[in-house]
Amino acid sequence: MSLITALEAHDIRFPTSRELDGSDAMNPDPDYSAAYVMLRTDAPGGLSGHGFVFTIGRGNDVQTAAFGALRHLVVGRSVEDVLSDLGAFARSLTADSQLRWLGPEKGVIHMAIGAVINAAWDMAARVAGKPLWQLIAGMSPEQIVDLIDFRYLSDALSPAEALQILRAAYPGRQQRTERLLASGYPAYTTSPGWLGYSDEKLARLSREAIADGFHTIKIKVGQRLEDDVRRCRIAREAIGAEHGLAIDANQRWDVGAAIAWLRELQSFDIAWIEEPTSPDDVLGHAAIRRGIAPMPVSTGEHTHNRVMFKQLFQAQAVDLIQIDAARVGGVNENLAILLMAAKFGVRVFPHAGGVGLCELVQHLAMADYVAISGSMEDRAIEYVDHLHEHFVDPVRIRHGRYLAPMKAGFSAQMVQASLTRFAYPNGAVWRESAP
């Protein structure tokens, strides 16, 4: 029997604010960061599991400290027990009654739990010798249902309904796996559209995105209406009428302001407006959606758990959703969200970018395609082209599509040199820039 011997926490930060990469209406100067967790074991071959929470700088220390509160639930447990029932493992973390008070199931403590659950999944995929998406896609419908905490979901999705969705997708799994291996999964790119970029850079990067094979780009909006009108025109002209132009307000508006503002952008044939208002405002999203129809409405990267997603579906508040691999309670909760999306017929455009989010979320989208929704050509995974070099198994993009990852694991592991160099505050990159 092998044991989990340590839960290591690392505060890793990249000084991205120096270049204004990632600037938007609510986040003018992010330093993309990871509260990184490593589960060590005494299993043969130095088996370990890796996970992280993405943050944008300050507070990454708080997020990293939260891992400490989970040690007593993880260290000393049998590797075999944990990996043989990842549903029970996930529930044992979210159900700690004292820690639950800090959420429940939201914010710092829930994101820390999600990263530890993801690290256990990384370990499970390594042991299985498969990339995570194939590990999930190889499970029986019953095994997948057992992974999910249906608490608070049963009025929208029962275990029996989940089983029905998974069984319906079962026969086509092999064919879809082959298709994925052959041609990858569609991507869209946000790289052209950061608010800090000049008009010239926006136009150039938009043209390059289409030339690179992307069919949809996304630009940031919400600072000044006249700028948004001009930038939408520039982007639309650069990509042509046949490609998708999505916009992202990063929670900038109140409900009424969102409706008024977005009506001024109707003529640019917007693919979706993302995060028009507070991520907590389910009814607000529903009101905005009614107010700007037929422009599609979306949210999700800050939607903190399955109960909030459930309500977005029930209230018909969104046309599509972003899932995020590092915001909710790990793979398990994202499977619940994907199953609800399938039931309610809502398309999924996973949130990525930041640091490592592309690496993680591609696995969830591909597992969804093979085993749940059975569909990928009407959806796409966000792609942003920075910080991939810090990962052992970085994403591979070809002609605007994510190639299926092939290495065993969840692609979450950072290279050791980056863990050292970007450690905060004592890594070389931070020492060099200290005043």
Please tell me whether residue 423 binds a second copy under the rule CB under 8 A.
no
Interface with a second copy (CB under 8 A), residue from 43, 83, 109, 249: 109
Q: Is 184 in the site for a second copy (CB under 8 A)?
A: no
- For a second copy, the binding residue among 48, 94, 190, 251 (CB under 8 A) is 251
Nearest to 342 by CA among 363, 321, 315, 327: 321
Q: From the CB of residue 28, how many other CB atoms can be counted at a distance below 10 Å? A: 13
Q: Is 351 a catalytic residue?
A: yes
Contact indicator for 340, 156 with CB cutoff of 8 Å: yes
61 makes contact with a second copy (CB under 8 A): yes
Which residue in 106, 126, 351, 390 binds a second copy (CB under 8 A)?
Answer: 106
Choosing from 4, 136, 153, 270, the residue that interacts with a second copy (CB under 8 A) is 153
Beta carbon nearer to a second copy, 91 or 302: 302
Residue 176 found at the interface with a second copy (CB under 8 A) = no
Q: Residue 287 interacts with a second copy (CB under 8 A)?
A: yes
User: Which one from 10, 106, 310, 351 is the annotated catalytic residue?
Assistant: 351
**99 is a contact residue toward a second copy (CB under 8 A):** yes
Residue 273 binds to a second copy (criterion: CB under 8 A): no
Pick the catalytic residue: 50, 106, 215, 220? 220
With CB under 8 A, what is the number of residues at the site for a second copy? 64
Among 278, 316, 375, 420, binds a second copy (CB under 8 A): 278
- Under the binding rule (CB under 8 A), the answer on residue 280 touching a second copy is yes
Check binding of 308 to a second copy (CB under 8 A). yes
* Smaller CB separation from a second copy, 79 or 113: 113
CA pseudo-torsion sign 70, 73, 77, 82:
negative
For a second copy, the binding residues in 25-44 under the rule CB under 8 A are: 26-31
Interaction of residue 283 with a second copy, rule CB under 8 A: yes
- 351 scored as a contact of a second copy (CB under 8 A): no
Q: Of 259 and 403, which has the nearer Cβ to a second copy? A: 259
- Please say if 304 is a catalytic residue: no
Q: How far is the CB of 12 from a second copy (least distance, A)?
A: 15
**Which residues in this chain contact a second copy in the complex, by CB under 8 A?**
26-31, 55-59, 61-63, 65-66, 68-69, 72, 96-111, 150-155, 251, 254-257, 277-284, 287, 302, 304-305, 307-308, 310-311, 314-315
Active site residues: 220, 351
